[in-house]
Each structure stands twice: as structure tokens, then as C-alpha cells.
């Protein structure tokens, strides 16, 4: 009987066409989304042109809407957008690429009207438009849109990219644009850049407000945003053309001193065999006195040094940076380049450094990642007074990883979370603390020596003495 009631296509077919139609009408009643999906299917049974008309009507309706889209409505709108997008790609564009291109462009054009009235902290809505950019690239290629026409439409779209909806557009359109289209798009942005630099006389500038009886001009407020849009577009075009120098030219000298920007430029220089220039770029970055240098900068520097044959210097940097931040990426690379047996000695030295590292939690995280569970257990037992039970995202996996072989250390990790919860009166965590206490009880028979931390019975008795009035907690303890 269970097999016959399982929801699958074969069992549903057995119901017959009429019964399935009745069920679909019943299920779709009260659901606008389901009704729209059924209309699309009905239109598709006639022609892709009918489907295109339905999609166009729906996109126009979404664009005209003015209702605020709060967090609860985002999921439904996302589903609606995905239905329209997939229909354009899978049905319309497959049959008529030119019609599909016009529709996917209409889809992209409604983004601003949606974001103006939505609250999408998750970023799920913009993902639909980023995917639509990728879809548009494929459809444009199939439709054989003229290079110049395509470049001008892309340029026009990116002039109004306030919500980042077109962020993937240039990279997606590279195959369809081709060499000539990229050159035309580049020329359009260069011309726009010149227009932005040529500030008109005050009488011709748009005033958007006043401060202390002085006008606030639109280009002063939004000029930096436009400059950034131009630079980003020209960088993407330069990447597509393989023109590293043009890419670098779009970064102001001051910006190139930022470690992440320097690393970004260096990675491109390295990929073209220009290791010395990459190293010089990295060394011009502002890293003086910093111990929080981004790992991207560090890895780029190491790659440049290796490419220049300065392996010893690279090894010294790896060890220094490991000592500073316990970055396991650097330690693994350091050990990999050592002769046999020397790596074991260096690993022991690294563990000793971790045991004495000022931040016990960074040390514990490193030892768990390695993994070196014996060292992690040793660290917890030795420095138990320094453990912060509020770091449940660290203590929970630590207890789980150590429970099988190191029950004492696992118990200490669990107790740190219990103590923090009760001492801070975090009633929302009582359920977890009660579970942790139960886990401590399960671990107790496997601990031969509790040393100076007290047995499970002793610890529980002390909890009752100090927190006996926290009935919300004790009611949850098994």
C-alpha cells in the first residue's frame, strides 16, 4: 500500500487526466503563484509566443507594483522571479533567441523597481538578476545580436546599476561581444569618463538640495559612484581583453597601496610571468607595522618570491606569519618544503608555539583544524581558566572532536559553556546547557582522573549550590 501512495509521477498518472486536472484546480485555488505557473504551462502547450506574452505581462505587473516587499514576502517573489526567468531561458529563448533576449532584458530592467521597495537582507533577490545576466550572455550569443547594439545596451544598463543587479553583465557578455564589441564598449565608457571629468558651469548643474544657503550639486554627491562604476567596467573589459596594464591603470595610485588591491594586481602580473613587477607592487602596499596583513597579500608575495627563485626568503616569511597568526596554510606550505624528518621537528616546534600563544581560542581553533587532538586536549587542560564558554561555536566542536579519546578535555569545554550560561543568566541557552551537563555525565565514567577539576557529582553539586534557584535550567536537566 505504501508504494501506491508514494508521491511520484507514475502513481499520479494512475489517477487519470480528469482527476489530476481537478486536483490542480483545487490546489491552485487561493495561490496566485500556482495559477501563474499553470497559465504558463497552458500557454506553452500552444506556442512559445503565447508563453512570451504571459511572461511579458507578468514582468510588467511586477514593475508596476508599489507594495513594500518585507522579509516574509521575499521568498514568494523570489519563486515568482525564478519561474519567469527559467521560462524565458528554457522555453522562449530555446525557440526564439531574439524574443528570449528581449524578455531577459526586460527581466533585468525590473530590478530597480523591486529593490526600491524591498527589504532583502539575505541577498537572494539579487542572485536572480546575477543569474539573469549570465543567461542574457548565452541568449545574446544564440541570437547573434550586433556587437555595437549589444555594447550600447550594456553601457546603458550599467549607467543605472545602483543595486548591483548588473554586476555580472560584462563578464557574461564577453563571448557575445567579441573583440569588436569589447572595443566599442570600452570606447563608450572612456567617453563617459571624460564627460564626468568635464564639470559644467554652475548654471547648468543640477541642484538636488541646499546647505547653509549653498546649493548641493548632483554630480558632487554621485560623482564618486559614477567614477567607480566606470573604473570597474573598464577593469572588467581589460580583464576580458587580457590587458593587465589597462586593468592596473584604472586603480588610483592611493588605492594601489591597499594590500588587497595590491594582491589583486600582483596575481594578474604573476599569471603573465611578471613576477618582479608583482613583488614591487606588493612591497609598495601599506603594510608597515601591521600584523593583520590580508592572507591574499601574503600568498601573492610568497608566489612572487618563489617565481624569482627566492625560496629561502619565502620560507622565512611563512614561518613568521604562522607565528603571528597561527595560519595553518602557511605552516603546511612550510613543512611541505622541508626535508624528511625536519618537518616532524618543525611541526613539534609549531605545536609548542601554539600552546604558549597569547590567544588560547585561536590556538585551540588551529589545533582542531590541523588536526592535532592530543595537543588540543593538552591546551584545554593546561589553560582551562582562560576558556570563554560564550564561544559556543568553538567549544561545541571541540567537545565533539575530543569526547572519544580525551573525555577530560571534552568535559572542560562543555563545563565552560555551562558555567557561562548560568553565571550570565542566559535563559535562552538553558536547553543547551542542560544537554551539555548530560553529556558531561555520559563522559564521566570514561575519565580515570579528574585531577583538580572535581568529579561530575562534585561539579553538579556545586552548580546546585550556586545556581539552585535557576529552576528554568534544572527543569530541563534529565
| Domain positions in the chain | 13-145, 146-250, 255-337, 359-478
Q: Record the cell numbers describing residue 400, joined without a space.
A: 565533539
Contact 266, 304 (CB under 8 A): yes
* CA gap 415, 284 in Å, rounded: 49
Section 93-113 average pLDDT: 95
9 pLDDT band (50/70/90 cuts)? confident
pLDDT of residue 210: 65
Section 175-194 average pLDDT: 95
pLDDT tens profile 273-317: 999 999 999 999 999 877 789 999 999 999 999 999 999 999 999
User: HSE of 240 in the Cβ direction (CA atoms, 13 Å)?
Assistant: 24
Kindly tell me if the per-residue pLDDT of 463 is higher than 50. Answer: yes
Which of 345, 301, 351, 296 minimizes the C-alpha distance to 322?
351
Phi, psi of 207 (to 5 degrees): -90, 125
Kindly tell me if the per-residue pLDDT of 214 is higher than 70. Answer: no
Section 413-438 average pLDDT: 97
Segment (H or E) for 210: strand 207-211
Q: Which residues are registered as beta bridge partners of 181?
A: none
Kindly tell me if the per-residue pLDDT of 221 is higher than 50. Answer: no
Section 180-206 average pLDDT: 80
Phi, psi of 18 (to 5 degrees): -65, -45
Section 444-466 average pLDDT: 95
Contact 375, 355 (CB under 8 A): yes
pLDDT of residue 47: 64
* CA gap 382, 475 in Å, rounded: 33
* CA gap 107, 83 in Å, rounded: 11
Q: Which segment of 203-207, 353-357, 407-411 scores lowest on mean pLDDT?
A: 203-207
Q: Which residue did the predictor score with more confidence, 48 or 138?
A: 138
Kindly tell me if the per-residue pLDDT of 421 is higher than 50. Answer: yes
Segment (H or E) for 60: helix 48-64
Kindly tell me if the per-residue pLDDT of 18 is higher than 90. Answer: no
1 pLDDT band (50/70/90 cuts)? very low
pLDDT of residue 207: 59
DSSP code per residue over 67-114: --B-HHHHHHHHHHHHHHHHHIIIIIHHH-HHHHHHHHHHHHHTHHHH
The rounded mean pLDDT for the chain is 90
DSSP state of 243: -
Amino acid at each position: 500500500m505504501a508504494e501506491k501512495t508514494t508521491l511520484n509521477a507514475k502513481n499520479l498518472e494512475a489517477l487519470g487526466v480528469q482527476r489530476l486536472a481537478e486536483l490542480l484546480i483545487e490546489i491552485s485555488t487561493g495561490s496566485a503563484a500556482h495559477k501563474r505557473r499553470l497559465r504558463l504551462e497552458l500557454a506553452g502547450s500552444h506556442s512559445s509566443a503565447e508563453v512570451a506574452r504571459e511572461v511579458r505581462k507578468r514582468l510588467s505587473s511586477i514593475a508596476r507594483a508599489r507594495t513594500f516587499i518585507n522579509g516574509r514576502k521575499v521568498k514568494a517573489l523570489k519563486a515568482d522571479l525564478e519561474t519567469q526567468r527559467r521560462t524565458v531561458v528554457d522555453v522562449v529563448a530555446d525557440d526564439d533567441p531574439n524574443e528570449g533576449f528581449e524578455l531577459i532584458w526586460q527581466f533585468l530592467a525590473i530590478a530597480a523597481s523591486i529593490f526600491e521597495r524591498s527589504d532583502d537582507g539575505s541577498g537572494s533577490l539579487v542572485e536572480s538578476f546575477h543569474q539573469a545576466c549570465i543567461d542574457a550572455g548565452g541568449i545574446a550569443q544564440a541570437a547573434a545580436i550586433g556587437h555595437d547594439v549589444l555594447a550600447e545596451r550594456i553601457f546603458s544598463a550599467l549607467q543605472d546599476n545602483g543595486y548591483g543587479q548588473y554586476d555580472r553583465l560584462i563578464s557574461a557578455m564577453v563571448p557575445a561581444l567579441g573583440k569588436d564589441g569589447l572595443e566599442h564598449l570600452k570606447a563608450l565608457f572612456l567617453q563617459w569618463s571624460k564627460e564626468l571629468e568635464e564639470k559644467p558651469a554652475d548654471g547648468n548643474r543640477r541642484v538636488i538640495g541646499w546647505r547653509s544657503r549653498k546649493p548641493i550639486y548632483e554630480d558632487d554627491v554621485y560623482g564618486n559612484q559614477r567614477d567607480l562604476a566606470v573604473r570597474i567596467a573598464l577593469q572588467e573589459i581589460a580583464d576580458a581583453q587580457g590587458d593587465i596594464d589597462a586593468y592596473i591603470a584604472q586603480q588610483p595610485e592611493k588605492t594601489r597601496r591597499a594590500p588587497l588591491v595590491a594582491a589583486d594586481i600582483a596575481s594578474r602580473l604573476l599569471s603573465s610571468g611578471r613576477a618582479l613587477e608583482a613583488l614591487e607592487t606588493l612591497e609598495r602596499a601599506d603594510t608597515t607595522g601591521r600584523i593583520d596583513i590580508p592572507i591574499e597579500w601574503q600568498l601573492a608575495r610568497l608566489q612572487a618570491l618563489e617565481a624569482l627563485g627566492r625560496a629561502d626568503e619565502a620560507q622565512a616569511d611563512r614561518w613568521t606569519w604562522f607565528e603571528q597568526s597561527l595560519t595553518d596554510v602557511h605552516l603546511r606550505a612550510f613543512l611541505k618544503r622541508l626535508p624528511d624528518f625536519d618537518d616532524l621537528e618543525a611541526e613539534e616546534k609549531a605545536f609548542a608555539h601554539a600552546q604558549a600563544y597569547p590567544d588560547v581560542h585561536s590556538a585551540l581553533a588551529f589545533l582542531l583544524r590541523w588536526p592535532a587532538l592530543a595537543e588540543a586536549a593538552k591546551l584545554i587542560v593546561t589553560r582551562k581558566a582562560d576558556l570563554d564558554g560564550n564561544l559556543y561555536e568553538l567549544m561545541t566542536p571541540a567537545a565533539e572532536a575530543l569526547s572519544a579519546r580525551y573525555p577530560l578535555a571534552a568535559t572542560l569545554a562543555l563545563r565552560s559553556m555551562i558555567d557561562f550560561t548560568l553565571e550570565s543568566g542566559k535563559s535562552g541557552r538553558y536547553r543547551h546547557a542542560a544537554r551539555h551537563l548530560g553529556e558531561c555525565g555520559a563522559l564521566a565514567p570514561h575519565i580515570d582522573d579528574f585531577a583538580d577539576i572535581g568529579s561530575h557529582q562534585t561539579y553538579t553539586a556545586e552548580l546546585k549550590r550556586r545556581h539552585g534557584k535557576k529552576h528554568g535550567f534544572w527543569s530541563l536537566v534529565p
